[in-house]
Copies of this chain bind each other. A is one copy, B any other.
Amino acid sequence: MTGSAANENASPWLPVEDREKARDQKIEAVQDMALTLFIEQGYHHVTMNEVAERLNVTKPALYNYFRSKEDILYSCWMSGHERLQQRVGAELGEGSGLARLRRLIRIYAETMTTTYGKSLVLLDDRDLDEINRRAILERKRNLDGLFRKLIADGVADGSIRPTDPRMAAFAIAGALNWIGHWHRVDGPMTPEKIAEDFAQRLTAGLERDDG
């Protein structure tokens, strides 16, 4: 362990990178702890003092890593979005509109069972200033656009029966986002089970009757 740089040329001059790495780890620790508390109690009920305490430091120490509480909130949301985008980019793949939509639903549902996934739904962009808020709203729009596009593609390629992509996207995204509200880690179903169930359930009414 800690063998990050257990290198052959035992040079005692490794610390510069290690320090940066340590700093990044601390940034992440602050973010993780803050997010966990935000999800549990709601942003406005979490104090910077509490975040610090839970990390065994004092409040001003946090300001070495984030400029403000709001800055943490923004980072949390963005990290959640990045993780989702990462998987979408890697796993959406090719195929019919319906096939890709099902894959998106699986990815989205699984993500919603993680703390960072929940941040996409449970954090309120109205707690951010205009600049950051706009950045998030744009990403939300893009996400909505992806749902609509896959549905429209499916209608076009015949894998999905004719339907209003806007309403279909609202219905699907709503069901998925709601996972962030009801999911508990000690619940009866694994994230994969939930994802599989929803991928079928949310597209069951969209398939063409004729095969």
The chain A residues found within 8 Å of chain B, CB to CB, are 41-42, 44-45, 124, 126-127, 163-164, 167-168, 170-179, 181-182, 194, 197-198, 201-206
Contacts and interface: CB of A to CB of B under 8 A. Distances in A.
Contacts of A177: 174, 178
Tell me the dominant secondary structure on chain A's binding face: helix
A139 B194 CA distance: 25
A58 to B, nearest CB: 25
Contacts of A41: 126
B175 A179 contact: no
Give the number of times this chain occurs in the complex, counting copies. Answer: 2
Contact of A126 (B45, B170, B203, B204): B45
A177 B174 CA distance: 7
B201 A167 contact: yes
A170 to B, nearest CB: 6
A24 B126 CA distance: 32
Nearest to A189: B167
A19 B46 CA distance: 43
